[in-house]
Structure 1
Amino acid sequence: MEYTKLGNTGTDISKICLGCMGFGNPSRWKLAPWVIDEEQSLPIIKKALDLGINFFDTANVYSLGGGEEVLGKALKKYAKRDEVVLATKVFNRMHEGPNGQGLSRKAIMSEIDKSLKRLDTDYVDLYIIHRWDYNTPIEETMEALHDIVKSGKARYIGASSMFAWQFQKALHVAEKNGWTRFVSMQNHYNLMYREEEREMLPLCKEEKIALTPYSPLASGRLVRDWSVTTKRTETDKIAVSKYGATIDVDRPIYERVAEMAEKKGLSKAQIALGWMLQKATAPIIGATKTSHIEDAVSALPVTLTDDEMEYLEEPYVPHKIVGHI
């Protein structure tokens, strides 16, 4: 395993992060009926640890808390807490009625305690706002996050998909008031969706923000034969919303990944992740099989030349913004 720093901090993270959206309770979360249960999840998390992965990402909304519960049990069983960098997220709706979602002080203070209980830990290393809250002043959100860090319930804070102007505003508000700044950006980014290169990536580079993109394999579309269907391809409405409308313009990118993989004697995952690893700090890899983890880790030694990077990127055309809202 290779390790790097979490943005402008001294914390070491594996260059592969295990995303835990796929772990939990398929009957509890209607949005993702393809997730796997605890019995199936534990061996995957153990394999990640065995391969040197120390960075794990989940969220309160995954299986409506079930994802955090499964990850917490696995880490308690297989890992030493101080050796793991644990991230979770807050924003999405967790219960019906008022104050069931968002980034108000009330919601954040309530959800961090619930997440810690489900994860069975005293703190998370990285507490991430899952999306931008248009209904709460950013000053309220940033002060609440700062107080959570100062209370010891989180070591750092991060953000996920939003517009660059929003992220810059949040960074400015924190700096202006002497509050904790974001150290990471978890955004939607891969060979088939590169809109983040216009504004967000240059901003993160300038501010020394760690880039931890989700969906680095485009929900499997960069690596899976397009004629093959799986339970996830048939039921994953989130993936359809991200890539369903751009099949025709995305196909040439998949074909170039497949062509290069065959030419170099590598897997398509190694090519797609090899490209990503030269762009990002630590991509977040989803896995529902141990082989998915092994494939991801095998991409670490892959280095693509400038010409090869350009060849993979050349067919890309502008896409509609997906992920911010």
Structure 2
Amino acid sequence: MQYTQLGRTGNRVSRLGFGSMRLPMIEIGGAQYVDVEKATAVIHRALELGVNYIDTGMMYDNEEGELVVGSALEQWPRRDEVIVAAKCTKFRAKAPGDLRRCLEHQLWKQRRDSFHIYMFHGIGYDNWHEIDAATGWIADMARAKEEGLVEHIGFSFHDKPEAMMRLVDEGIFDLVTCQYNYLDRANEEAITYAAEKGLGVVIMGPVGGGRLAVVPKGVREASELSVANAAELAIRFVLAHPGVHVALSGMGSIDMVEQNVAAVDKGPLSKAEVATINTMMDRNRELARLYCTGCRYCMPCPNDVEIPQVFEMVNYYRVYGMEEHALAGYARLVANGHDAAKCISCGECLTKCPQNIAIPEQLREAAELLAAGS
């Protein structure tokens, strides 16, 4: 495992971080729950292989993720060596004292006395100040740090690059978690800016929430690239940016952990390899038309549309040239009553999507594109 210093936090962290949003699930009585035994085994395998940075969130895994991570770490003999990041989401910060209540509840769930890093979750420059005016969460965070409940303050981010740089300039943050991958390079300059200002930079979505789990056509034909699989390509690309410290991966199986650790062990891609990918992706803009990361914040849909799965099938069809696979997958959604045609444009999903996707419009396109297989 490769390690680096996480900006001015001073923490020595693995370049691969464990994202806890995609823990293995099990269905019980028609509902999805974290498979605690499997999830614990996955987390422990990552720790065995040297991963020492874990990213958690209060809404992850049907709000069970923090409990499972806390239990897994309590069983780990070198728990004190693991850097844990947690977040207070803007959806739970609506009144004075909300951040403090969230923090204390999360510490209880994770069986901890403090967090190494505590983040304002999913903020932009404008809503960050709007939320503070309503809740006083900046002062609450500062008090939590003074009391030793939080070591370092960070933010996770889905806004424009200019807004990210303005947040960096606020001067209170030690870390930023943002999106970056070989499809979405919008934050490239902002990442450099944050790192130069001393912030730790953690990347979410290096594999694009699964959208880059298959190498796009064009890229896979490039003879200059020598990688074992799509995940390796995606992770090594992200780590090639000199401002990036950690690439997060939501790992739901031991195989995925071992595959990603092996990728990091090979080191970042070379400058020539990065240039090749950038050129190929500039020619292939189909994937950018539908930038769904599979976060599932849009779910559940009141009309039972499986929105992320529909969009996954669209990208398999358009981008990867896997038409038969996409049509067969969509046919299964139709058979189970979860297809795009069920959308009535109620708009409930629109306010929940961090990517600001025009979901009803994209679902109409998906229904037209994939109807042939159903």
1:59/1:48 CA distance change after superposition, 3 Å: same
- Structure 1 window deviating more from structure 2 (62-71 vs 284-293): it is 62-71
Q: How many Å apart are 1:69 and its aligned residue?
A: 0.0
Q: CA deviation at 1:92?
A: 4.7
3-state SS of paired residue (1:88): strand
Cα distance in 2 between the residues matched to 1:102 and 1:24: 28
Match of 2:175 in 1: 184
Counterpart of 2:21, as a letter, is: M
Moved more, 132-141 or 117-126: 132-141
Q: Using the alignment, how far apart are the partners of 1:150 and 1:305 within structure 2?
A: 42
**Quick one: structure 1 residues 34 and 206, their matched pair in 2 at CA, closer, same or farther if it must change by over 3 Å?**
farther
CA distance in 2, matches of 1:103, 1:282: 31
Q: 1:315 to 1:172 in 2, by over 3 A?
A: same
How far did 1:122 drift? 0.5
CA offset digits 1:135-188 (Å, max 9, x no partner): 323793322211111111111111111334444444444x4xxxxx21221112
Distance 1:194 1:12 in 2: 26
Query: Partners in 1 of 2:155 and 2:276 — Cα distance?
Result: 31
State the one-letter code of the partner of 1:155: E
Cα displacement (A) at 1:195:
1.5
* C-alpha separation in 1, matches of 2:223 and 2:200: 28
2:19 corresponds in structure 1 to 19
Which residue of structure 2 aligns with residue 4 of structure 1? Answer: 4
- 2:164 and 2:115 map into 1 onto residues whose CA distance is 22
Deviation at 1:316, TM superposition (A): 3.4
| Counterparts of 1:27 and 1:265, CA distance in 2 | 35
CA distance in 2, matches of 1:256, 1:103: 46
Q: Which amino acid aligns with 2:131?
A: T
Retained in 2: the 8 A contact 1:22–1:34? no
1:313 aligns with 2:270: no
Q: Give distance in 2, aligned partners of 1:110 and 1:117.
A: 11
Return the match for 2:160 from 157, 160, 163: 163
Distance 1:168 1:276, change over 3 A: closer
Q: Work out whether residues 59 and 68 of structure 1, in 8 Å CA contact, stay in contact via their aligned partners in 2.
A: yes
Tell me if structure 2 keeps the 8 A contact 1:127–1:156: yes
Correspondence 1:111 to 2:102: yes
Q: Of residues 38, 41, 58 in structure 2, which corresponds to 1:40?
A: 38
The aligned residue for residue 73 of structure 1 is 71
Quote the Cα distance in structure 2 between the aligned partners of 1:212 and 1:14: 11
Partner residue in 2 for 1:246: none
Flag the 1:182–1:40 CA change in 2: closer, same or farther, 3 A: same
Counterpart position of 1:215: 205
Q: Give the equivalent residue in structure 2 for 1:271.
A: 233
What runs of 5+ residues in structure 1 fail to find an aligned partner?
94-100, 176-180, 225-252
**2:116 matched to 1:125?**
yes
SS in 2 for 1:296: helix
The CA RMSD over aligned residues, in Å, is: 2.9
Q: Which segment is superposed worse, 132-141 or 207-216?
A: 132-141
**Structure 1 residue 263 displacement after superposition:** 5.7
Give the TM-score normalised by the residue count of structure 1: 0.76
User: 1:4-33: per-residue Cα shift (whole Å, max 9, x none)?
Assistant: 1111221111110000012386679x9xx8
Q: CA deviation at 1:298?
A: 0.9
CA distance in 2, matches of 1:214, 1:261: 28
**Alpha-carbon distance change, 167 to 35 in structure 1, aligned in 2, over 3 angstroms:** farther
Question: In structure 2, do the counterparts of structure 1 residues 35 and 262 end up closer, same or farther at CA, with 3 Å as the change threshold?
Answer: farther
Offset from partner CA, 1:40-69 (integer Å, 9 cap, x none) = 201100100100111000101113431000
TM-score w.r.t. the length of structure 2 is 0.67
Q: Deviations over 1:212-247 (max 9, x none)?
A: 1111011222233xxxxxxxxxxxxxxxxxxxxxxx
Structure 1 residues 103-157: Cα deviation after superposition (integer angstroms, max 9, x where no partner): 6541111000000000011011110111124532379332221111111111111
User: Is contact 2:17–2:249 with CA below 8 Å preserved after alignment?
Assistant: yes
- Contact 2:212-2:230 within 8 A present in 1 as well: yes
Cα displacement (A) at 1:79: 3.9
Measured after TM superposition, the shift of residue 262 of structure 1 is: 9.6
* Unaligned stretches of 5+ residues in structure 2: 293-353, 357-374
Q: 1:224-303 counterparts in 2 under 5 A?
A: 224=214, 254-260=216-222, 264=226, 266-279=228-241, 280-300=244-264, 301-303=266-268
* Number of residue-to-residue matches in the alignment: 280
Q: Check whether the contact 1:24–1:62 (CA below 8 A) recurs between aligned residues.
A: no
Percent identical among aligned pairs is 22
